[in-house]
Structure 1
Amino acid sequence: MEPCLQHAVADGIATVVIHNPRKRNALTPGMWHGLPPLLERLAADPAVRALVLTGAGDTFSAGADIGSLGTTYEETTALALPAEEALAGFPKPTLAAVRGSCVGGGCQLAAACDLRFAEQGSRFGITAARLGVVYAPSSTRRLMDLVGPATAKYLLLSGELIGTERALRTGLVDEVLPPGGLDERVAEFTRVLLSRSALSQAAVKEFTAGPVDPARLEYWRDQLSVSGELGEGVTAFLERRAPRFGWMPPARSDHRPAVADPQGAAEYSR
């Protein structure tokens, strides 16, 4: 099979698989370019409540296919950055399920997800300094916000890889699972995500992406008022039953994805 992004939707979960096992799931230009439109379609699909990103086999991704890298700043960022921003801006919860190597552009994509669960023994790293690549400011900020300045500098200045224990301690990973336990835990946790209010989750995605202008805050206040989500949550709590949340994001422009640093994405992908 040619390198590709495989995807499927089942039981409210969209699963996107980085598939290039002959090159440790390195991402080709076609795969980088294909991720944003794929995410746009999945975001618009009312059957999708959350998204899991993973790699084929026992590797998440070794990053960009080195043979596809250019020699200028624009060439090296034009592939990965739009894909990273599209993933960070996905309006529903995202989770990277990592086993094996999660390196370079693969780690860049994992960091753009909301959550990262990893199998014990996985390895993480940003190898820009090994290749002489200037890592984009928006990507640097995202990594620093995730793991803090000290660990971000360690990863970016050295290009060294870290294991799951350090990744968990620094916040790069949210949970570490024993070998063979990753898929079961991801399935269990995504069921938890689906049981929660999509209204609450969508607001969290937008609020954590950056400053919220007053008009958007008013939008979310209105949605809370008219959706009935809070009333259902309180009633379910008092009746000691699981809540039956029903809010769905509007199909048109009154609901926007939580795009992280869109200005930076435009600036650095030209």
Structure 2
Amino acid sequence: MEPQLLHDVTDAVATVVIDHPAKRNAMTAAMWAALPPLLDRLAADPGVRALVLTGAGGTFCAGADISTLRGSSATAQGLAVAAEEALAAFPKPTLAVIRGHCVGGGAQLAAACDLRFAERGALFGVTPAKLGIVYAASSTRRLVALVGPAAAKYLLFSGELIDTERALRTGMVDEVLPDAELTKRVAEFTAILASRSQLTQASAKEFADGRTDRDAHWTEQARGSGETAEGVSAFLERRAPRFTWTTTG
């Protein structure tokens, strides 16, 4: 089968699957280029309330498929950074579900997600030093924000792989579970995300990611949304809230 990005939407959760098992789900140039428009379509779908990114089989993503990226390294890196930025800008909660190797471009994509759940035994690495690549400034800043400067330097300087215990300790991942429990936990957690207020999530995502120019926008959105009234009513009536504000509205 040709390397591809698979996707579906079930119960308000979009799942994007990196599918290139012959090369441990390494991203080809075409796959990097296909990710931003796919994310645009899913972001515009009012039926999507959260997004999961994962890999086919037992591997998340082993990085870039170097055989498809010959020629200008700047062009190849540009495709990867554009995909990373599109993922980081996705307006709804994103969760990387990681099994096996999460290396190079795979770690770049995982870091661009809001949260990361991993199978115990997964391995993580940021490997530009093995190829003589200057890691993009935006990607470096995102990694530093995620794991701190010392851990980011360890990963970038050495290119060494770290296990899930160290990844959890540094903040590279948020939860680590046995494989038998990971699928169930992801289903439970994404159901929680899908049930919560998108208004709260979208505003919190921008604020947490450092936006400082949108306070007035979110105040106005909250004023006309009815989200707080619904949340309070649901609490007092002891029922599940029915939040209706969407990022596409």
- TM-score relative to the length of structure 1: 0.89
Q: What's the secondary structure of 2:5's corresponding residue?
A: strand
Q: Secondary structure at the match of 1:138?
A: helix
Q: Distance in 2 between matches of 1:211 and 1:37?
A: 23
Number of the residue aligned with 1:231: 229
Report which stretch shifted further, 219-228 or 127-136: 219-228
The 8 Å contact of residues 25 and 55 in structure 1, kept in 2 or not, is answered as: yes
TM-superposed CA distance for 1:6, in Å, is 0.4
Q: Name the SS for the 2:223 alignment partner.
A: helix
- Note the C-alpha offset of 1:73: 5.0
Q: Displacement, 1:46?
A: 0.8
Question: 2 CA distance for matches of 1:93 and 1:67?
Answer: 33
Residues 162-177 of structure 1: matches in 2 within 5 Å? 162-177=162-177
Please give the secondary structure, in 2, of the residue aligned with 1:17: strand
| Deviation per residue, 1:24-52 (Å, 9 max, x gap) | 00011110000000000000011111100
Q: Residues 10-49 of structure 1 correspond to what in structure 2 (within 5 A)?
A: 10-49=10-49
Partner Cα separation in structure 1 for residue 132 and residue 212 of structure 2: 36
How many residues align? The count is: 249
TM-aligned CA deviation for residue 70 of structure 1: 4.2
Match of 1:114 in 2: 114
Alpha-carbon displacement from aligned partner over 1:114-146 (angstroms, at most 9, x marks no partner)? 000000000000110011111000000000000
Amino acid at match of 2:13: I
> Matched residues, percent identical?
67
User: How far apart in 2 are the matches of 1:17 and 1:31?
Assistant: 11
| RMSD, matched Cα | 1.2
Letter of the 2:75 partner, please give it.
E
Of 215, 219, 222, which aligns to 1:221?
Answer: 219
Match of 1:255 in 2: none
Q: Is the 8 A contact 1:24 1:59 kept in 2?
A: yes
Equivalent residue number for residue 181 of structure 1: 181
* Distance (Å, rounded) in 1 between the aligned partners of 2:223 and 2:118: 38
Q: Which residue of 1 aligns with 2:199?
A: 199
Distance 1:250 1:145 in 2: 28
- Separation (CA, whole Å) in 2 of partners of 1:52 and 1:92: 11
TM-score of the two chains, using structure 2 as the length reference: 0.97
Partner amino acid, structure 1, of 2:237:
E
Determine which of 246, 251, 259 is the counterpart of 2:244.
246
Unpaired runs of at least 5, structure 2: none
Q: How far is the alpha carbon of 1:62 from its aligned partner?
A: 0.3
Question: Structure 1, unaligned stretches of length 5 or more?
Answer: 252-270
